[in-house]
Amino acid sequence: MLTWQDILEFAHNGNPTPPRRVEKTPLEWQRELAQDTFYVTRQKGTERPHSSDSCTLFEPGKYACVCCDNLLFDADEKFDSGTGWPSFTQPSSAESIAYIADTSHGMQRIEAICNVCDAHLGHVFPDGPPPSGLRYCMNAVAMKKCD
């Protein structure tokens, strides 16, 4: 189980080795992705809170990166954070997500990106439920549900 200390260590000292890499030009991504998905995943945007029904759906299954199919989360780790974005307590594996210190917007946060294709997914915070205490606050358009 990853802890906040693990996340900080990754963000400041290097991320886990990805299982594979997917690299495309910005134009290739733009041609493949819907406009809102491109904005969030490739331009580090944020979707509006409560803009997806993904926050309130708690069906079994898995969530993968919409850009490269990298497995990100299991629905068993999903919880209702009340923030307006889908939230999880743990990634599917330590290698699925990379972490970057983010000081934009006058805040100190940890950005969570897909470790395979560098898609912006959201941020991770140390205010989640036990036992990990982590809250992966993800953009719904950055993920797709797979069974």
Which residues are identified as catalytic? 137
Beta strands in the chain (DSSP E): 62-65, 71-74, 78-79, 87-88, 97-102, 109-114, 120-125, 135-138, 143-146
* CB-count burial class (<10 Å; 0-12, 13-18, 19+) for 80: exposed
* Cα separation values, 39 from 2, 114, 142, Å: 29, 15, 10
